[in-house]
Structure 1
Amino acid sequence: PHGQPQPRASAPGPPPAGLAALLARVQERLEALGELPAFSASLNRVRRVSADPEADAMAVAREVMKDAALSARLLRLANSPHYNRGQGRVGLVSRAVILLGFETVRNLTLTVKLLEGFQAEHPGVDLARIQVRAYLGAALLRELALAAGLREAEESYVCALLHPLGELALAAALPEEHLRLQQRLAEGAERIQAEEALLGAPLHELGRALAASWGFPPAVTATLAPPPEVDGPLPRDAASFNRALVPLGHRLVRRLQGEEGAPGEAGEPLEALLARVSRLAGVDHDRLDRALEGAYRRACALAEGFGLDPAALRPRVTQTGDALRDRWARRLAFLADAPEETAPSAQPDGRPEGGGAGGAPAAGACAPRRERLLLVLRQLAELLAARRGVNQVFAKVLEGLVEGAGFHRAALCLLTPDRRAYALRLAAGRELEPLREAFRHRPLDPETDPLAGALCRGQTLVLEDPAGAPRPLPRELLAAVAPGPLMAAPLALEGRPLGFVYADLSLGPEPLRAHHHEDLRLLVSQARIALHLAG
């Protein structure tokens, strides 16, 4: 049955000499690198969800499966002899989470290299684009699997997410050779021939060899290859479906983005490719169209959630002579250029981006801010991995709220030892003296002070209009602080309230936007992790 433990297959024979040499070089570099780099946003979300006592394994797995590198790392660990002692090979991320346990998954996120740090060291290698394109292919396969009535859509999704494993590993381990390969392809070389000439083996063979060496099940490794030469209806089983449609789905994604069928590359017309995918999947053309557009919307939303410009997914809009491909390119380019209007939620809880007060700013308008936020998140991950003091973490969180999230002021307020008042301990931003004075030692009165009420109830406070809200801030506090729209997120340890993180927009008539909500939640989750680690 789909998703059940599979018997261990006999060890494959040795790879050909060219592949063996390439595999050895990649493995050596990956060991030095410390595995494939993952998005800091993925790591932070996995930490947050895995620390939530109400979360289940699928909630954690959903966050892991937004990142191909993190998914590969988790499956590798779940198939290692230390963790997998006779349970059969694991090919589902949700099963890997159950096998490893939340604490192991959470600790794993503290040791993974950050993709953003890799990109800073190798700006010419677009590892983020490879990752998001992997997600795009996976989202498409999930839709097709559901439309085809397969019982285990996660298996199709994971196989598609890992399909570019060879390309991902080469870019991370041997970035200079990846760049040379991209240059050769841009000059019109045929893909497989260029890979063999430059690397000694095709990238799909590198991916399969890596997956096999990491103990991935045959159900996964069989899909890391070109599609089989089949054209008729497929048997209604996951193995046949995934073996044919995972590579075809990725070929379709490349064709739509202008990365297949370029001069010097063999490629069937898009109309024929779409017809073949429709026929093999057993879905009509309209359903396939909806699956493609939905997958593209989700990939754009994911890119935006990772702080990337969704326009990086924009297909090449040119006259190629393939009228259908050109129409699709224009259609998808529009989605990439206007993700805030067309994309579904980029947020883990499903709230639509731009759904907060004031909507979302135009795409790309906040790129510098997002870059600063990603830098702070990288630094927070390093502080947490090194088990630095909570004060350093809190200072960095406040910096992120001001420099990355765009709040004007941010502060950490903690309960006094007698738990009868709260006081400001750290602050960041501009015009801080009124804040320091107002929060120097404020009595804890949850009945009249919404900040104290949020702290005692353990609920995030959002006040768009602190003076006109149903429960406004006390008059003397409003006069002293002049806050503008504000938020306050409570801090607790083992259910015991400790204080709150405060952030406001005090310098102008700016409303709270959706990114303020998400960024505050993301950054405060790092503070909560630090408290948990400190005990």
Structure 2
Amino acid sequence: MPATFKNRFQLLRILGEGQQGRIWLAHDTQAGRDVAVRLGVKGDDDAVGLQHPGLVTLLEQVEAEDQPALVYEYVQGTRLEGQYFTVSTAVDLLIDLLDTLATLHAAGLVHGHVNAHNVVMDAQHRPRLMDVGNGRGSVQGDLQAAGQLFYTMLTERPAPGQPAGAAKRAELDGVLEQLFASMQQAKSPGADALRDALRDWRGDHRGTAAEATTGTLDFLLRRMRHTSDFPALSQAISAINKINQGDSERLQVLSSVILNDFSLVNKLLRIVNSASYGQYGGTISTISRAIVILGFDTIRNLATSLLLFEHMNSKSHAAQLREGVLQAFYGGLLARQIAQECGSREAEESLICGMFSHLGRLLTIYYFPEEFREISRRVFGGISEEAAVIAVLGLSWDELGMGVARSWLFPDRIINAMRPLPEGMVREPSSPNERLRAYANLSARLVPLVGQPPSKLAEPTRLFAPATGLDLRDIQRLMKEAAASLQGYLGAIGVDPRSSVFLQTLLREGTESSHQDTLEDLVLATAPQTGSDPASVLSAGVQDITQSLVSNFNLNDVLRMILEAMYRGIGFDRVLFCTRDAKKPVVAARFGFGSDIGTIAPLFQVDLASGKSDVFQAALERNLDVLIEDVDAPNIALHVPAWYRQQIGAGTFVLFPIKVGERMLGFFYGDKQDAGSLKIEANALNLLKTLRNQAVLAIRTRQ
């Protein structure tokens, strides 16, 4: 099998094969993305480009060397094959599948091989139907196959059998049995009719309370996942939560996740340089150094909070949502103040717990505005808020928030802290988890009382006194301190307090006993900023490294700071730090930042014993800084090795060798995809060399 197909698709590895032909994971060098290529198969032109959230999209058909191929979107996930579910979850999956088939059939297409092997659960736990466009069969056959798949999910048997068979995990009522009996008939309803009937059944059918709550949560999650923005938010927060506390490379992983979001980087750096963290001295210009100085937990929690804040603050139906987000942010800061006052080691985690205690309400405002209006209407009519929420959504805001937090991979201790405490006196916590829960719950009860007379604070203060040891004066002071802390964030997160009734009330209360600041003063109290041009970012990075070098620094941390300064300063697509292997004549990537870096880094290896001189070996042998503007330029093309073209494929790149004494250790590498797009001004180039020289100094110092 050739390494490439049609001089465009780099075939990386086999994903699977079967009756429909072999399918490869490939990199489309023209589009700059990974795809799935099924070789030896010709499909239906009408299926090309058909879009649906439940389809793995057929991008195009290609043919070369008399070999046809289908090019699909590459979706990472797990096959449905071998997985079994409760009735509630299986019904939701079948609804999604029928909705997908309805779209396919409406386009005049059939799938022809609907089965568990051809359904993949993507990163958002959404079922995606693969292999569209090369099936033969009928609409009826697709529906019968969907019915058989449903039974397989329930019975752990490949054959459908009887609906109420002994191996089923739960009984279906008569309506559902009749629905699937109709699938076996010669003429059955279409996929859309079956889907709608299932939705009706789903809304009416309730099992036990736990089953009903689980089913409702699954249903709401499915609605959110089908929006355009929720999957991206979920992926970012889940990536942060996946970082193992014991992972020696967690600084690298957290930095990489944050650096994927340019806006998040800017906001986070402005916050860590604001008055709230000014006691650390000096400007912090890289995320890597922020983690070193402020700690992993602090930056992780700030990043998570900002992700939610920025996401929720961008919707057009903004007024109610903005107030809710600001209240949640304040709730997190207040929980942190309470924890600090109580001398707790869980202060930073309390920030997340306090903020995410409001998650269910925020998600409802943002994703289910019609339901939120109905809840508000019922509350206005005299029903309690909790009763109104359960009546409209089918579960409480706390259950919704905890369910989503669980899907975002938050640890159990944080999810536990989001659970409301029962009414009555709160006893002294006997564990760190109980302390987190007490602080988050107290904060959640205090936030709605902002702007109320101090007497309103007396009852929650009394109830939580055994758990916190705080009196009314303490609570009033902590609420003002949390307001002042929020004030320090406003400029960084781009919020004008005059746009929010909640902020006006909060900040008025927080300042009237101290400096008597006006709201206009607060608007101007923004955090310091560094310039956004390459020279400014690189210069700030040089200062960052200089400050680190005079302390008891960790070498890998400093090297990551240097790499990050290069990455952000020039705007490379990818940067890598590469070193010589101690046991063999190879220079290989150790870590980096940028798009697909997890895939690219293991492939980046310069073989020093190949006997073939190329641009990488020349740079190392002669200790030369090299900028290749176009890898295909006539005078350059022969000096760019084949492995680089096949595995990396950037059109332009730069190398800065690292030599300590007489020993060549490796190099810094940065690239951009498009040839000729890497333009580095003279002052920026000098600063890049300064950063490289700082790396040499750091290595020499540690040696």
TM-score range, shorter chain: 0.3 to 0.5
* TM-score, normalised with respect to structure 2: 0.36
Greater strand share, 1 or 2? Answer: 2
Larger of the two Rg values belongs to structure: 2
Scaled by the length of structure 1, what TM-score is found? Answer: 0.45
